[in-house]
Amino acid sequence: MHISEGVLPGWLLVTGWGLTGAGLWLGLRELKPEKLPLVALLSSTFFVASLIHVPVGVTSVHLILNGLTGILLGWASFPAIFVGLLFQALLFQFGGITVLGVNTFNMASGAVVAYYLTRPLIRRASRSGLIAAGVIGAFSAIFTSALLLSLELLACGSSFRSTATLAFLAHLPVAAVEAVINSIVLLFLKKNAPELLEVK
């Protein structure tokens, strides 16, 4: 779900950096020292998962796991995802530095949406509630991120309309896969590390 260098207009790049800067500020305020190992783990998981790209027409899809990141980190998803994307841009040229703000906002805002939608279910911590949280978290995060990506491509002109539509639709199967992953991880954490599911 990376947007490459040279695609977006300057005003959109500046807007992306501004929104990501605000998200990073909020995320770092919420970042407690005891949460750092979990942030590092989810950032590295995000980094690895989204390296594996499956071509779909003129675009490609990959696991994102921003829903799981959002469920467990809330606003701290912004610094976690930012670091993962930064290293992908520096080491593998996925996305890029100028579009890092937009790419971070796209994926981290989906994570924050997932956090707020699943928080009541995580609080109850029942088996069915955790499965529902896994599904809702996956679809809400990917839907939000894919919608933002599509709208940004559409802002570049009508020539990107088919790419924007394909990019959105191609990520729906990814959401289904991530719904299963999220549910399994949340049930595992309930049994083995329930303290990680404690939300405010």
Percent of the chain with pLDDT over 90: 56
CA 41 to each of CA 25, 65, 81, 169, 198: distance values in angstroms, whole numbers, following the listed order: 20, 12, 11, 29, 17
Both tokens assigned to 65: 């796991």
Task: Compute the distance between CA of residue 46 and CA of residue 51 in angstroms, rounded to an integer.
Answer: 9
Helices 127-154 and 172-192, axial angle in degrees (round to 10): 150
Please tell me the predicted confidence (pLDDT) of residue 31.
87
Beta bridge partners of 61: 54
Query: What is the tens place of the pLDDT at every residue in 102-154?
Result: 999 999 999 999 999 999 999 887 899 999 999 999 999 999 998 898 888 88
CATH topology of domain 10-197: Arp2/3 complex 21 kDa subunit ARPC3 (1.10.1760)
Q: What pTM did the predictor assign?
A: 0.89
